[in-house]
A and B are shown apart, each in its own frame.
Chain A
Amino acid sequence: MNATPSLPGLVEGEELIFSPPRSLTPVPTHYCPGCHHGVAHRLVAELLDEMGLQEKTALISSIGCSVFSYNYFEVDALEAPHGRAPAVATGLKRARPDCFVFTYQGDGDLASIGLAEIMHAANRGDKISIVFVNNTVYGMTGGQMAPTTLLGQKTTTTPMGRISEDCGYPMRMAEIISGLDGTVYSARGALNDAKNIRQAKKMIRRAFEAQSTNSGLGFVELLAGCPTNWHMDALSSNKRIGTELIPVFPLGVFKDNGFAESGKGGGK
């Protein structure tokens, strides 16, 4: 494992008071400017450090922009087929119950092609954690419509905007997953401003505690910006999350079975 990278320019008498999480690999990412994957990665890595999970973690990466998350998390990792990450996580967790297993999935992966896998993993109450990044589009393939695309939103496959008569409605996954008995925690946060980011971290912590306390499946949805495929600058993309996404995807905790907190700073 890589130790905390030593920072250049630190001279005698100076004290290191802040450094990147050990669970993040110190390399540049391929994510676009203004994309929130970097923020989500950071929060997850901080929690792996704080909760002492790094050395027992298995990351299941999924298909989409975050397929390369295994390049950025300094943990063991496995690349799952499109949508199958929760089933792959189930297999790995059953084989090695001592591992901390989490999936990191986008909205096309989890809510479209992988809907059966997430529903049944949650319904079984598998002791795994799900980090679900919802930016309302297929990012890597060029901004096509996702199950979470807003009504009226223009994408490369809804050039006139998403119309419910043809394409149905945005799926609220955190609420859907909260309705299954095997889910012990389900929440939705957003990554568009400091207040929401702090709240999102508490939610991820709780989704991780669902597993570390062996309680059941923990699910956290994170509303994220995709400036490239939204055809916006980063600031406008942050604003859109507040003005357009949150009214359709309300923030909050939809289920918390009250399982014990592990470590300090639990996030109820």
Chain B
Amino acid sequence: MEDKKIFIRGNEAVCYGALSAGARCYFGYPITPQSEIPEMMSKAMPEAGGSFVQAESELAAASMLMGAAAAGVRAFTSSSSPGVSLMQECISYMSGSQLPAVIVNMNRGGPGLGDIGSAQGDYYQATRGGGHGDYRTLTLAPSGCQEAHDMMIRAFDLAFKYRNPVLVLGDGVVGTMKEPVRLWTPSQINSHAAASWQVSGAAGREKHVLKSLYLLDGVLAAHNRKLQEKFAAMRAETEAECVETADASLVVVAYGSIGRIAKSAVRLLRSQGLKVGLVRPITLYPFPDKVLQDLAEHGKKFLTIEHNCGQMVDDVRLAIRGYADSDFHGHMPGAVPAMDDFIGPIEEAARRTA
């Protein structure tokens, strides 16, 4: 793909990023606000020599993803909140069976059917594994279309590097807004030795068996210890954007589209003389707790802003425990916030710190 900028939606940026990353299978099911992804992949995948299947359900889409991942092929699916709930079965199996796959969630309002607008109510689900058992998925949170594109490329590499599902957690805003996006293709794709484990026919080698069932006493314990070591190793991938935090007395913590809106509010208040900064977690799991802890040790106060009723604020409080606490402002799912909605809460938190 050429190195150029085009004006596209976040959902389209996801598709371009996946194709540049070498994805050759897509399985999905229609749901708003991400249906542009299956629509675009239905044309682009066959053109790229890959495979597209509109699955009969999100259960089946995630199962197909598992099959393609087991084959060592770069594959992904996408959905929005209610659909991602249905995918949790296979996400747990894929983590347990150590299979690399990418799942995109354009988060919408919940619980239940909720609405079709933007929200961040799936933070817990995304960062705690989401399905049954002790597992985690690396979770990347784009704040716009360029990041959505770039994170797909990174997500595939991380999935194969750690042999684990990777979530790209966007939302309705990221999925449906249009921005100029620079398309680029990585100079090389690292298979991370997928041939050493993939199910592709055992010609000339021992058979490969990919599974998550371990019944003998102690064997599952050993498997879980190995997985936990892997999840701990993922900490090397932690990333956050820090804006004017060095001299700030108040640090706002917000992710995704909300992090971007909060950044505008922080910049405006800075121009008015308020000593406020922003930490925008880019990886939600692993969470950038060290960044926040360091700021807390320097006496900062904190305000967490989310498009939900309070989820990431738990991780912020865990990160800064012993040094500080965090205020919380939750913009209820059901309405998209504007920058003005955050000015008051930030000023109020700043006053409390004064």
Chain A interface residues toward B at CB < 8 A: 1, 54-58, 60-61, 67, 70-71, 74-81, 84, 87-96, 98-100, 116-117, 119-120, 124
Contacts and interface: CB of A to CB of B under 8 A. Distances in A.
- Of residues A54, A57, A94, A119, which shows the largest number of chain B Cβ atoms within 10 Å of its Cβ? A94
Interface stretch (B51-59, B114-122, B233-241, B340-348): B51-59
Contact of A58 (B55, B199, B212): B199
Contacts of B183: none
B50 to A, nearest CB: 8
B90 interface: yes
Contact of B64 (A70, A76, A90, A98): A90
Contacts of A117: 56, 59-60, 63
A1 B208 CA distance: 10
Given A94-B68, A95-B75, A96-B71, A81 B63 contact: yes
Contact of A95 (B61, B67, B90, B210): B67
B67 A91 contact: yes
Given A56-B203, A91-B75, A120-B60, A77 B209 contact: yes
Give 5 nearest A-B pairs by CB, closest first.
A91-B67, A91-B64, A87-B63, A92-B67, A79-B211
A29 to B, nearest CB: 15
A140 to B, nearest CB: 11
A91 B101 CA distance: 12
Interface string B29-61: 000000000000000000000010101110111
A76 B63 contact: no
Contact of B200 (A54, A87, A89, A99): A99
A253 B245 CA distance: 73
Nearest to A124: B53
Nearest to B27: A91
A200 to B, nearest CB: 25
B73 interface: yes
B93 interface: yes
B229 interface: no
Interface of B: 24-25, 27, 51, 53, 55-57, 59-61, 63-71, 73, 75, 89-90, 93, 97, 199-213
A65 to B, nearest CB: 13
Contacts of A98: 201
Contacts of A80: 63, 66-67, 93
Given A79-B212, A87-B60, A94 B51 contact: yes
Residue of A70, A81, A87, A119 with most chain B CB atoms under a 10 A cut-off:
A87
A46 B36 CA distance: 47
24 contacts: A1-B202, A1-B204, A55-B203, A58-B70, A71-B209, A76-B199, A76-B202, A77-B207, A77-B209, A78-B199, A78-B210, A84-B60, A87-B60, A91-B27, A91-B63, A91-B65, A91-B68, A91-B75, A92-B199, A94-B51, A94-B67, A116-B56, A116-B60, A124-B53
Given A74-B207, A75-B207, A95-B25, A87 B55 contact: yes
Nearest to A98: B201
A87 B199 contact: no
Nearest to A76: B199
B207 A76 contact: yes
A90 B53 contact: yes
A70 B211 contact: yes
Given A95-B73, A99-B71, A67 B213 contact: yes
Of B68, B89, B202, B207, the most chain A CB neighbours within 10 A belong to: B207
B53, B63, B67, B210 — which one has the most chain A CB atoms within 10 A of its CB?
B67
B73 to A, nearest CB: 4
Given A79-B93, A90-B64, A91-B27, 7 more contacts: A78-B97, A79-B97, A87-B56, A91-B65, A94-B51, A95-B71, A117-B59
B67 A78 contact: yes
A80 B68 CA distance: 12
A95 B56 contact: no
Contacts of B25: 91, 94-95
Contacts of A1: 202, 204-207
Contacts of A96: 71, 73, 200-201
Given A81-B90, A120-B60, A92 B68 contact: yes
A31 to B, nearest CB: 15
Contacts of A71: 209
A196 B202 CA distance: 32
B67 A90 contact: yes
Given A84-B90, A87-B60, A90-B53, A99 B211 contact: no
Contacts of A120: 55-56, 60
Nearest to A55: B203
Given A58-B201, A76-B202, A116-B56, A89 B207 contact: no
Contacts of B97: 78-79
A56 B200 CA distance: 7
A91 B209 CA distance: 17
Contacts of B71: 58, 91-92, 95-96, 99
Contacts of A95: 24-25, 51, 67-68, 71, 73, 75
B60 A60 contact: no
B310 to A, nearest CB: 32
Contacts of B89: 81, 84
